[in-house]
Structure 1
Amino acid sequence: MASQVSMGATLQCSFGAAPSSLVVLPKNKVLAEGPPAANIMDHIPLVNIMPFGMCSAPSNPTVAAATTAALGVLTPMPCVPATASPWTPGAPTATIANMPALDNTSKCLCNWGGAVSIVMPATTKTMIP
């Protein structure tokens, strides 16, 4: 059984150097154990998904340019998330603001090739069947 994700959940990108926190604005008017509950549309870079420290994705243009300047030595650059598509798959049995609720098994893909996953959902009791 999956857990509902809410504001303050800990996220990690496969190409990021540090964890980040999910920001959920209270626009959906649904709370989960106190903070606002998330749905799959809470994927907007620098609004919902904050940077992961340094990015080491070779397909990231800033990383590619820095790596080229360093004569081919992989050179991480500051992360700016590029999550254009919603979290998948979400919870098909529960909706928040007419969209699937975000559960802790969902992933969000970055345009540079990273996969953002939920390390800690910020809820401990709210389960989604």
Structure 2
Amino acid sequence: MGFCVCGGAMLNCSFGMAPSTLNVLPKNKVASNMPIANIMDNVPMVNVPPFGMCTSMANPQVAAATAAALGVLTPMPCVPVLTAPWAPGSPTVLIGNMPALNQSSKLMCAWAGVIQIANPGTTNIQVP
């Protein structure tokens, strides 16, 4: 069993240069003083802040800057582009009528990055 993810969880992106923190709006407040996340907490800049600089060549800004630098990889500011919810979540535990987010869930960025949960923010609520 994995742990449930709450607001303040630490996130990493495979192409980001810095960690980020998951922001969960208080609408999903359940049985604790911290809001618990569900799979729909995937809104860029609201729930998922930037990861510093982006190094993905799939990102048009990085590709353009790298081309301008004659092929030398040139990171550009991260702006997550998230088109789908977190997957897989925990289908047996619902938070706000949506599957709860667990620490093994992943989120895909349109620029080929894989966003993972490095620290779920809690160690006392387990979900399958």
Alpha-carbon offset, residue 27 of structure 1: 1.5
Deviation at 1:34, TM superposition (A): 2.6
Q: Secondary structure at the match of 2:64?
A: helix
Name stretches of at least 5 consecutive residues in structure 1 with no aligned partner.
none
Letter in 2 for 1:87: W
Deviations 1:41-66 (A, max 9, x none): 00000000001000000000100110
Q: Partner residue of 2:40?
A: 41
2:22 aligns with 22
Q: Distance in 1 between matches of 2:54 and 2:103?
A: 23
**Match of 2:121?**
122
1:114 alignment partner AA: G
The secondary structure found in structure 2 opposite 1:86 is: coil
Output the CA distance in 1 between the equivalents of 2:26 and 2:109: 24
* TM-score (structure 2 length as normaliser): 0.97
Shift, 1:92, TM fit: 1.2
TM-score, with length taken from structure 1: 0.96
What aligned pairs does 1:46-57 form with structure 2 within 5 A after superposition?
A: 46-57=45-56
Q: CA deviation at 1:30?
A: 2.2
> Deviations for 1:93-125, whole angstroms, at most 9, x for unmatched residues?
101111100000000000000000000000011
C-alpha offsets along residues 72-109 of structure 1, whole Å, 9 cap, x if unaligned? 11100010111121000000110111110000000000
What is the percentage of aligned positions where both structures have the same residue?
A: 59
In the alignment of these two chains, the number of paired residues is: 128
The 5-angstrom pairing of residues 1-129 of structure 1 reads 1-31=1-31, 33-129=32-128
SS in 2 for 1:116: strand
- Aligned-partner residue type, residue 7 of structure 1: G
Q: Which runs of 4+ in 1 moved over 4 A?
A: none
The Cα RMSD (Å) is 0.9
Alpha-carbon distance in structure 2 between the residues aligned to 1:91 and 1:108: 14
| 2-structure distance, mates of 1:50, 1:87 | 15
State the distance in 2 between where 1:18 and 1:29 align. Answer: 28
